[in-house]
Amino acid sequence: MVNSEMEIVAFRGDTGPFLKPAPGQASFSLTKMAREELRFDLQSVVFKAKKERKPVVREGVEFKDNGQTRAVDIQVLPVKVPNILQPFFLITFENASPKQLSTVQPPSAKGAVEISQRRVAELKQELASTRESLQTIIEEQEATNEELRSALEEIQSSNEELQSTNEERETAREELQSANEELNTLNEELAKRNREVVQTLNDLNNVFNSINMAIIIVDLDLKLRVFTPVAENIFHVLPSDVGRSITDIKLRAKIGKIDKMILDVINNLTVKEGEIEDEDGHCYMMRIRPYLTEEKKINGAVISFMDIGTAVGRREK
């Protein structure tokens, strides 16, 4: 039993006279294991059975076995195995009947004529068989060439697709490299900006800590954003108050409706000034001005308090 690739998948009976292991690497290929005199006919009948999908018989194929000439009938039957797509082929070897073997008649005139006629008939049969085998080989070669041509076209198509893929990968690599360069440049710019921001924050912190004046900055919602240490000491605002509305913080000063004053400054872009007094009778000049961004947009208000002495001292003057 062989598959569609001429690989032997099973043996039954004594196949020794027709098949033998080939020298070299072990193989179950029928064409390698078949005796040399049978190889050509085996290939032909299997290919014909494969093509026509019906049993094929080749009778009287002669070969040498232990120095003697033998003849065998080769039959190939296509076999369909359930749940398996590829076909299998059952090859049987049957010894030819004595009448198919070449015989030697006693030399005589009549016998010589009969031998000559029989030999001519055998030669005609061999010639017809050879022609049939050659035709089968030609068809098999054409089918093989067609398969090779199709395989080459597929390989060529695959190569073109691979080339296209490589070009796309190269383009993607170049784009990625360009993107990486842009990212590196952007990272350098961001790092520079971060250094500038850190430096600016350090400068502002030092300025705030150095100013001997109470300053409070609020946003558009009147929420405390930042204040100087002096404001923390005078009005008892705490770092935890950042984010709270100034109206929710009890300042140690008599300011009145500070929220309305701040909103008026924000809405009308004006500056408001006035004197206030804390709980200890200390007086301050309060100034409220708009908080402007670099783009000249209003983003809150700045409230500053300048110490102008005690209320008692101001009354004595």
pLDDT tens for 193-240 read 999 989 988 888 888 778 888 899 999 999 999 988 888 877 778 888
Question: Which comes out higher in pLDDT, residue 265 or 40?
Answer: 265
CB 255 within 8 A of CB 279: no
Beta bridge partners of residue 292, listed in sequence order: 298
Look up the pTM and report it: 0.43
Tokens (6 digits) for 72: 């065998």
Query: Is 1-99 a domain of CATH 3.30.450?
Result: yes
> Could you give phi then psi for residue 104, rounded to 5 degrees?
-110, 115
Lowest mean pLDDT among 45-54, 109-118, 182-191, 258-267: 109-118
Bridge pairing between strands 214-218 and 88-95: unpaired
Does 3.30.450.20 match the CATH number of domain 211-316? yes
User: Rg for the chain (alpha carbons), in Å?
Assistant: 54
Strands 2-3 and 56-65: unpaired
The mean pLDDT value for 149-171 works out to 90
Overall average pLDDT of the 139-153 stretch: 83
Q: What is the pLDDT of residue 115?
A: 66
Q: Calculate what percentage of the chain has a pLDDT beyond 90.
A: 28
Is the predicted pLDDT of residue 317 greater than 70, yes or no? no
Domains of the chain, residue spans: 1-99, 103-210, 211-316
How much is the average pLDDT of 48-58? 87
**Is pLDDT larger for residue 292 or for residue 121?**
292
Note whether 1-99 and 211-316 share their fold: yes
